[in-house]
A and B are shown apart, each in its own frame.
Chain A
């Protein structure tokens, strides 16, 4: 006989037109092993409560429409096994179902994706072909295997927005570009056929863009397609630093690391602030610095920092690295 269990689905419910505030429904159903969360939700909608509202389509992890928070974590309902999920449940035999974070809720489990779509547009998330218009569709546009490898993985993104829901920078700044759009920008920017790298990069490296990512790795951890989103984020920063974003605070801050390792072996934190922000902005930090001084928490200035022993060897390695490519 198939393994069966009675399971409580604790489902977030909210219809902004009628409900004063959101609430949770507890729906108990008996399920067999092997059922996905999406099939369980479909069963509830068909047999218990036809008003329950959620999005789904392909049932195969392709369309990206069924992103939800299951037991607090953003994932695809159609790719999540109910019995597997029970292993992580805080309460025995209870599965918590909520809409994605960082979006406005339209009804129950459906969120408003428009702001994400707007961002995709704003950051030119498409290939703008270099090929003259009259040749388009008539000629093949070949790309090298090597170049394709750079963004092959990024093309797996199904825009399910799980990463957007998990992003901690999004939580405090809804206008932040978001990991999914960063990944798309990277994917378009390394495409040989594209003609607007610079324009796109300018936008991506301005306020609310790639420099604002805190490296919390939440997006990487929760991407439903296991895409290394950080590779895209860092790829954009790297091209930004070399071109349109040379003098940005983010670029200056990052470059300080390499300069200091060469100079001292360690980071010279004393001047990191002024090297990143210049001399005007840090004036507002003075009260904090005075307090730091009183508690003797001020980092030593460069001249008081000794170099690491045998730093000459590190410098020599750096000199050799200049000519090496790997």
Chain B
């Protein structure tokens, strides 16, 4: 299984451990990655309105780079997933857009054709690799762990651009966690928001959004919250102390947040240190 791997800005800076963990086990599963070194930032769901034409063009270019290698493009960030899939949807459906963009890409010897699929790493594990196969690779089943799955918004919504999970009752992350031997706990925040995108412009409100999810997770009795998105991780881990300041009488003061890649790593037998779990703010 070979893919082009999209480089997400945040994984190069604040959440390096996400890729560190992924690097550890990808070969155990026979996953081969070609990093999209020449790819640019996806625009972070901001560029869409600053300048739609820039957003279409850079993401057409990102996808074209993968197409040039004849590979599908995989990302491990929800917002990159949304930006890329959104651009792909427009390029494939808006009359004349693809041609206009390709005129520009031709200067870089690139062409967007639309043949590459854009996938989240979670989907690759569930669908391409398969959970049955994954179950056979497990070295340390996580049988004593209780996990609150936190999907984050942009892997679920808008669902017409995603189409894997039911946004009201998502199950893909639950299934993966249960395959790894852990238990999932029911709680109301699985498909809610982490508040990341407004952390700088509406801090108090965003922290409250994060705190709602954290409080739900803590009250569910989970040992960890697990998320497939580095932005959700940042909001829930880096800002956790600040977010939970407003909450009183919680059964415990904090809850550690794991990246999807770290949970898989634990089940495949790697240590917390190897997976960079000791780099988190909440341990």
Enumerate chain A residues within 8 angstroms of B196, measured Cβ to Cβ: 214
B49-A238 in contact (CB<8A): yes
CA distance A299 to B13 in the complex (A): 4
Contact between B158 and A220 (Cβ–Cβ < 8 Å)? yes
- Which stretch from B117-125, B137-145, B202-210, B258-266 is at the chain A interface? B202-210
Task: Judge whether B47 is part of the interface by a CB distance below 8 angstroms.
Answer: yes
> Which of chain B's residues have a CB closer than 8 A to the CB of A309?
37-38
Is the Cβ of B53 less than 8 Å from the Cβ of A324? yes
Interchain CA distance A267-B51 in the complex, whole Å: 16
Provide the residues of chain A in CB contact with B158, threshold 8 Å: 217, 220-221, 230
Check A320–B104 contact: CB distance below 8 A.
Answer: yes
In chain A, residues 210-229, which have Cβ atoms closer than 8 Å to a Cβ of chain B? 211-218, 220-221
Which residues of A, 47-88, contact B by the 8 Å Cβ criterion?
72-73, 88
- Report which of A211, A258, A317 forms a contact with B104, defined as CB distance below 8 A: A317
A298–B16 Cα distance when bound, in Å, is: 10
In contact, B157 and A258 (Cβ under 8 angstroms):
no
Cβ–Cβ < 8 Å partners of A216 in chain B: 153, 157, 192-193
- A255-B50, A326-B100 known; A215+B153 contact, CB < 8 A: yes
User: Looking at the complex, which one of B9, B38, B201, B242 makes contact with A310 (CB distance below 8 Å)?
Assistant: B38
Stretch at the interface among A14-22, A138-146, A167-175: A167-175
A71, closest chain B residue (CB): B168
Binary flags per residue of A69-110, CB closer than 8 Å to B gives 1, else 0: 000110000000000000010000000000000000000000
Q: Are B50 and A258 in contact (CB under 8 A)?
A: yes
In the complex, the chain B residue whose C-beta lies closest to that of A318 is B54
Q: Which stretch of A32-40, A154-162, A195-203, A288-296 is in the interface?
A: A288-296
Q: How far apart sit A255 and B201, CA to CA, in the bound complex (Å)?
A: 13
A237 to B201, CA, bound (A): 13
| A111 on interface, CB distance cutoff 8 Å | no
Contacting residue for A212 out of B49, B104, B202, CB 8 A: B202
Bound state CA distance, A191 and B212, in angstroms?
38
Q: Which of A72, A88, A265, A272 has the most C-beta atoms of chain B within 10 angstroms of its own C-beta? A: A265
Question: Quick check: is B7 within 8 A (CB to CB) of the other chain?
Answer: yes
Chain A nearest Cβ from B273, distance in angstroms: 13
Task: Tell yes or no: A314 within 8 A of B by CB.
Answer: yes
> For the complex, what is the distance from the CA of A229 to the CA of B48, rounded to whole Å?
14
Please determine whether A214 and B54 come into contact, CB atoms closer than 8 angstroms. Answer: no
Cβ contact within 8 Å between B201 and A249? yes
Cβ A265 vs Cβ B200 within 8 A:
no
CB-CB under 8 A from B195, the residues of chain A are 214
* Alpha-carbon separation in the docked complex, A214 to B205 (Å): 10
Q: How many angstroms between the C-alpha atoms of A297 and B17 in the bound complex?
A: 9
**A261 B40 Cβ-Cβ under 8 A:** yes
Contact in complex: A269, B39 (CB < 8 Å): no
Give the docked Cα–Cα distance between A304 and B280 (Å).
23
Q: Which of A73, A220, A249, A314 contacts B200 (CB 8 A)?
A: A249
Task: Give the residues in chain A near B104, CB-CB below 8 Å.
Answer: 317, 320-321, 324
CA distance A169 to B206 in the complex (A): 8
Contact B40 A300 (CB under 8 A): no
Q: A72-B168, A308-B37 known; A237 and B49 CB under 8 Å? A: yes
Which residues on A sit within 8 Å (CB–CB) of B15? 297
Q: A213-B198, A288-B238, A314-B61 are in contact. Are A269 and B281 (CB under 8 A)?
A: no
| A266/B192 contact (C-beta < 8 A), A212-B198, A215-B45, A295-B279 known | no
Task: Kindly state whether residue A253 has any CB partner on chain B within 8 Å.
Answer: yes
For the complex, is A126 an interface residue (Cβ under 8 Å from B)?
Answer: no
List, in ascending order, chain A residues with CB within 8 A of B48's CB.
234
Alpha-carbon separation in the docked complex, A235 to B48 (Å): 10
* Residue of A88, A253, A288, A320 touching B201 (CB-CB under 8 A): A253
Min CB distance B55 to A, Å, is 9
> In the complex, A215 Cα to B199 Cα: how many Å?
12
Q: Are B14 and A269 in contact (CB under 8 A)?
A: yes
If the complex has contacts A216-B153, A288-B242, are A314 and B159 also in contact, measured as CB distance less than 8 A? no
Which residues of B lie under 8 Å from residue A308 when comparing CB positions?
Answer: 37-40
Contact in complex: A218, B201 (CB < 8 Å): no
Per the 8 Å Cβ criterion, residues 241-282 of A in contact with B are 241, 249-250, 253-255, 257-258, 260-261, 265-267, 269-270, 272-273, 276-277
A253–B154 touching, CB < 8 Å: no
Cα–Cα, bound, A238→B40 (Å):
22
Q: How far is the CB of A110 from chain B (nearest CB, A)?
A: 24
Residue from A238, A261, A291 whose CB has the most chain B CB atoms within 10 Å: A261
Q: Does B70 contact A (CB under 8 A)?
A: no
By CB atoms of chain B within 10 A, which of A215, A300, A321 has the most? A215
Residues of B whose CB lies within 8 Å of any CB of A are 7, 9-10, 12-15, 37-41, 43-51, 53-54, 57-58, 61, 96-97, 100, 104-105, 107-108, 153-154, 157-159, 167-169, 192-193, 195-198, 200-202, 205-206, 208-209, 212, 238-239, 241-242, 279-281
Pairs A-B, 7 closest by C-beta atoms: A299-B13, A234-B49, A217-B157, A172-B208, A267-B9, A216-B193, A313-B108
Residues of A within 8 A of B (CB): 72-73, 88, 168-169, 171-173, 176, 211-218, 220-221, 230, 233-235, 237-238, 241, 249-250, 253-255, 257-258, 260-261, 265-267, 269-270, 272-273, 276-277, 288, 291-292, 295-300, 308-310, 313-314, 316-318, 320-321, 324-326
Instruction: List 11 interface pairs A-B (beta carbons < 8 Å), by A numbering.
Output: A172-B208, A173-B208, A211-B201, A211-B202, A238-B50, A257-B47, A261-B43, A270-B13, A296-B279, A299-B14, A317-B57
